[in-house]
Amino acid sequence: MILKERKNKYFDGVIDPYDLSQLKTWVEGLEAEKPQTAAELDEFLNKVDELNHKLRDTAAEIYIKMTCDTADKKIAEDFNAFQQNVSAYYAPKNNVFKNIALDSPALGEWIAKKGKTGTLLEKILKNDRDLFREENVALGIEESQLGVEYRTTVGGMTVEFQGEEKTLPEMAVFMKDNDRSVREAAFRARNGKMLAHKQELNDLFDKLFVLRKKEAENAGYKNYRDYIHTAKGRFSYTVQDVLEFHTAVETEMIPLITELNQKRKDKLGVDKLKPWDMAVPLDGKLLKPVSKPEDLIPKHIEMMNLVNPVFGRNFKAMDDTKLLDLFNRKNKAPGGYSYPLYKYGASFIFMNAVGLHSDLRTLVHEIGHAMHEFAQADLHYTSMLDLPMEAAELASMSMEMLSMPHWNVCYKDNDDFRKARYDQIEDALRFFPWCMVVDAFQQEIYTKADTAELREKAFLDVMDRFSAGVDWDGLKDEKTAQWLFQLHIFEVPFYYIEYGIAQLGALAMYRQYKKHPVQAVENYKKFLHLGHQVPLSDLYAEAGIELKFTREYIKDLVDFIREELEELSK
């Protein structure tokens, strides 16, 4: 089935990144509105929503074309033009629209009619307005420029290895080498390069730190940590909850991971487990889900059908509508994404598949995001009620888990099927310590450790706190360099924990599935269909799980993980 473009109700026409006259007419029309009744306010919000979506779709189409063909210079120009002309013009207008809504005398009546959705939207709009400071706009721009500087510095790093020049991501393959001396040499080369830039990156971070501190102070906060918690609209959990999450991982997860590391050490037959021993596959076997990359599409349609026929149908429709560009080729940007396309009520999936297990996993992940878009296509105000990361990633990470029982569509060999599932669960578990390191470290930086020296000490402390038997003796310099690899700390502070929250949720979804498979998938669908119309904690409840970080809660989950891993090792 080919998806049809949905009709616009208010704004018919296209947005031209080089000629804003049409867009300006639309915007000026909206700016002149003064909604007096609940019905007028509702119509006003729906108009803003439609225009927001139209802008996003235009940006999406340019971005998609650009990533699918990096050699096309014209499209790269269009992309810059869109940013410089359209985005720059429209961003402040969005604030004007929010204010019109918040200042409408009918707001109270409208909220009463809309219930939880109305209350949530008001809360989000108000929060943005309360935190908005004119003087922070320039600081934000400076901040993102420094972010680009980080990206350029680290992205440009190369090392000489085995007689060839390699980028840092290219070094990952040597960390999986069966020859331990190769792994160690790769580790040292990669870290040596980062250490050579340590001073420079610390100076860069100092600048970011000053800007962020200032942004928080401008908004009336005593530290950036508390400011960003509010700014991110984290209404469903507190800073205290996040600290409890750290403790629960430390006390409940680290012991199991330490056991797994002990097994790894024994299997590798080494006397100490070093940081370069962590990525090498223990049985040296590489999983291949398909014989050629193109088979990923029919196989995933089949798997999605088994999770739920709706998902199979939707994914097939994406293929029929040419909303997939999955295979690696020349002149394609790296990476993968699922980009929402409102006009289809779907999304576009981009990736660089070559036919490895990671491709299977990436594709089910992105399909999870896409199914979220299908499910929330007909909801209102979705451009103002953006999916929080903790919900968006719950959709995608849960799809990984819910599709897992059907991976035998790709893995006919029972041992491969078992290994793929074991790795999936072990990888999910192993994500948490580093996630906590990244968050706990930032908590320290922005509340206490405010110099490069204190920062280094704080980092070593959190590394020890979440260590699970990996031996860093004789590698103190390398150890201090680990945070410099984490882009999020430089570019999107405090964002990383949201992956941890979603991953915890996805494991809870899988536990639910094991107990009540049919009900779990139904709950998952209900969760998708809610978009962000209710607060995050309600979304988790609708999915049949809890947004919870206590020791008891995580202990129960760890018990479940342990049983699963034992079952899958047989």
Question: Where does this chain bind Zn ion (CB under 5 A)?
Answer: 396
Residue 399 CB, shortest distance to Zn ion, in Å, is 10
Closer of 382 and 396 to Zn ion (Cβ): 396
* Pure H helices in 132-197: 134-155, 180-196
Residue 506 CB, shortest distance to Zn ion, in Å, is 11
Closer of 396 and 443 to Zn ion (Cβ): 396
Closer of 191 and 396 to Zn ion (Cβ): 396
Residue 392 CB, shortest distance to Zn ion, in Å, is 7
Closer of 256 and 392 to Zn ion (Cβ): 392
Q: Which residues contact 365 (CB under 8 A, 6 or more apart)?
A: 396, 397, 399, 400
Residue 295 CB, shortest distance to Zn ion, in Å, is 23
C-alpha triplet 402, 404, 405: angle, nearest 5° = 90
Q: The tokens of 540 are what? A: 């988790």
Q: The tokens of 555 are what? A: 């202990």
Q: The tokens of 140 are what? A: 């934000």
Q: Which residues contact 288 (CB under 8 A, 6 or more apart)?
A: 355, 356, 357
**CA-atom Rg of the chain in angstroms:** 24
Q: What are the φ/ψ torsions at residue 348 (nearest 5 degrees)?
A: -110, 130
Closer of 47 and 430 to Zn ion (Cβ): 430
Residue 235 CB, shortest distance to Zn ion, in Å, is 22
The 3-class SS string of 319-341 reads: HHCCCEEEECCCCCCCCCEEEEE
Residue 370 CB, shortest distance to Zn ion, in Å, is 11
Closer of 101 and 367 to Zn ion (Cβ): 367
Q: Which residues contact 204 (CB under 8 A, 6 or more apart)?
A: 146, 149, 150, 153, 490
Closer of 369 and 479 to Zn ion (Cβ): 369
What do you get for the CA distance between the two ends of the chain, in Å? 43
Closer of 338 and 383 to Zn ion (Cβ): 338
119, 535 Cβ separation under 8 angstroms: no
The 3-class SS string of 498-537 reads: HHHHHHHHHHHHHHHHHHCHHHHHHHHHHHHHCCCCCCHH
Residues written for the chain: 570
Residue 537 CB, shortest distance to Zn ion, in Å, is 21
Residue 402 CB, shortest distance to Zn ion, in Å, is 15
Closer of 78 and 390 to Zn ion (Cβ): 390
Closer of 41 and 504 to Zn ion (Cβ): 504
Q: The tokens of 421 are what? A: 């599932």
How are beta strands 324-327 and 164-167 bridged, if at all? unpaired
300, 363 Cβ separation under 8 angstroms: yes
What is the biggest distance separating any 2 CA atoms in the chain, rounded to whole angstroms?
75
Residue 363 CB, shortest distance to Zn ion, in Å, is 12
Closer of 364 and 554 to Zn ion (Cβ): 364
Q: Which residue has the tokens 């995580």?
A: 554
Which amino acid appears at position 532 of this protein?
H
Closer of 324 and 462 to Zn ion (Cβ): 324
Cβ atoms within 10 Å of 443's Cβ, excluding its own: 20
Spell out a b/e string for 479-490, using b for 16 or more CB atoms within 10 Å of the CB, else e.
bbbbbbeeebbb
User: Across the chain, how many H-helices and E-strands are there?
Assistant: 23, 5
226 vs 224: CA distance, rounded Å: 6
374 vs 341: CA distance, rounded Å: 10
Closer of 391 and 521 to Zn ion (Cβ): 391
Residue 341 CB, shortest distance to Zn ion, in Å, is 16
Residue 365 CB, shortest distance to Zn ion, in Å, is 6
Q: Which residues contact 356 (CB under 8 A, 6 or more apart)?
A: 286, 287, 288, 289
Residue 372 CB, shortest distance to Zn ion, in Å, is 10
In the complex, which residue's CB is closest to Zn ion?
Answer: 396
Residue 502 CB, shortest distance to Zn ion, in Å, is 8
